[in-house]
Amino acid sequence: MTQQHTVALIGAPSSVGGLPVGSDIGPARLREAGLVARLRQVGLEVSDFGDVPVPRHHLRGGYRSRFANTESVARWVAKYAWRAIAQDMVPLVLGGDHSVAMGSIAAAAQSVPGLGVVWVDAHPDFNTPETSPTGNPHGMALAVAAGLGPLPLVRLMGYTPMVHPERIVILGARSIDAGELDNLRRAGVQVYNSEYLHDHGVRETVGEALAHLADAQVRAVHLSIDLDVLDPAHWPGVSTPADDGLTASELVALVDAVSQMAPISSMDLAELTPAEDVEGATTEAAIQVAEHALASLVRQAIDSPGRGSPVGASAA
């Protein structure tokens, strides 16, 4: 029996890669808020793999040990996600800070032919230790996946890059550091910022982004959601808010469009910071995003496997 409509829930309760801390409580908050039941209600099977091990007392370390701890968490995430994909499940990695994506992308890149990345975030996370104003590894996660950054991280699975930069698109960015912008331009990563999304419309922009990935022979996407892509005026539950973000309905429309136009092999839901989420709006938005992104797996399991067709070809 196919398990393509089975979601493997993987908690990564770690803020080793980001400051301020607090996103380490994210997975527990999402489970308490009923994430598993909500996913089952839309027809998905859920296999909860539990939480990956996280180094204890991790915040006592200095700069170097933060990178070592980030690597450790990413390796565990990669192991869990790899095991899920090997069983034909779709891993949903709950951050935790966004550096957990280094692990999920490493696993997906190794296992999924023609993988591309759709990175939805207020920040491109394309810094290197040389360009980063803060030194926080979560601001380097996508650069690491594209082969830029400290050697142990970029070679997490033994080869680099995990994903070629032409197979990466960024949606919703609006806070980009100067050196980071240089990195993006040199690498040739396509960025659709929040202004572009608002000017052209969510569905149109997703269509363009996926057409760009189709040109690079992408056949399945890793969807990485940083909840700080939302506007902090109404959805404040993140560690590094940036003004003028997306509404929850825009983000839901965005993941709906992605899931209708491309097979999703794997997904991250990162940076939920419960202490900042005073009325729970960010938690609720996160759950809706997961439901809408993954409900397409049920359709694919019923209609057809959906594998092997180029992305963007089945807009639906």
Q: Please list every residue from 92 through 121 that binds Mn ion, using CB under 5 A.
A: 98, 121
71 lies in the site for Mn ion, by CB under 5 A: no
Encoded one letter per residue, x for contact with Mn ion by CB under 5 A and - for no contact, window 15-54 reads ----------------------------------------
Catalytic residue among 5, 58, 98, 212: 98
Give the start-end residues of each E strand in the chain.
Answer: 6-12, 45-51, 90-95, 115-120, 168-173, 190-193, 220-226, 264-270
Give the nearer residue to Mn ion in terms of CB position, either 44 or 77.
77
Quick check: is 234 catalytic?
no
Q: Minimum CB separation from Mn ion for residue 110, in Å?
A: 22
Task: State the number of binding residues for Mn ion (CB under 5 A).
Answer: 4
Are 274 and 235 within 8 A, CB to CB? no
Contacting residue, 24, 51, 71, 125, with Mn ion by CB under 5 A: 125
Is 121 or 256 the residue whose CB approaches Mn ion more closely?
Answer: 121
d(CA 134, CA 43): 42
CB of 277 to Mn ion, least distance (A): 17
Question: Which of 71, 166, 226, 277 forms a contact with Mn ion (CB under 5 A)?
Answer: 226
Query: What is the layout of strands, in order, in the sheet containing 45-51?
Result: 45-51, 6-12, 90-95, 264-270, 220-226, 115-120, 168-173, 190-193
| Secondary structure (DSSP) of 210-270 | HHHHHHTT--EEEEEEEGGGB-TTT---SSS--SS-B-HHHHHHHHHHHHHHS-EEEEEEE
Residue closer to Mn ion by CB (options 6, 240) is 240
- Catalytic site includes residue 271: yes
Q: What mask, x for binding Mn ion by CB under 5 A, covers residues 173 to 212? A: ----------------------------------------
Of the residues 71, 125, 231, 250, only one is catalytic, namely: 125
Compute the distance between CA of residue 149 and CA of residue 91 in angstroms, rounded to an integer. Answer: 25
Cβ burial, residue 276 (10 Å; 0-12/13-18/19+): middle
24 among known catalytic residues: no
Annotation says 125 is catalytic: yes
Q: What is the CB neighbour count within 10 angstroms for residue 206?
A: 29
Judge whether 98 counts as a catalytic residue: yes
Helix 248-261 vs helix 281-303: crossing angle, to nearest 10: 20
Angstrom distance (rounded) from CA 249 to CA 279: 17
Min. distance of Cβ 104 from Mn ion in angstroms?
A: 13
239 vs 283, beta carbon nearer Mn ion: 239
Strand 220-226 versus strand 168-173 pairing type = unpaired
Least spacing, CB of residue 64 vs Mn ion, in Å: 22
Question: Under the rule (CB under 5 A), what is the footprint of Mn ion?
Answer: 98, 121, 125, 226
Positions annotated as catalytic residues are 98, 121, 123, 125, 138, 226, 228, 271
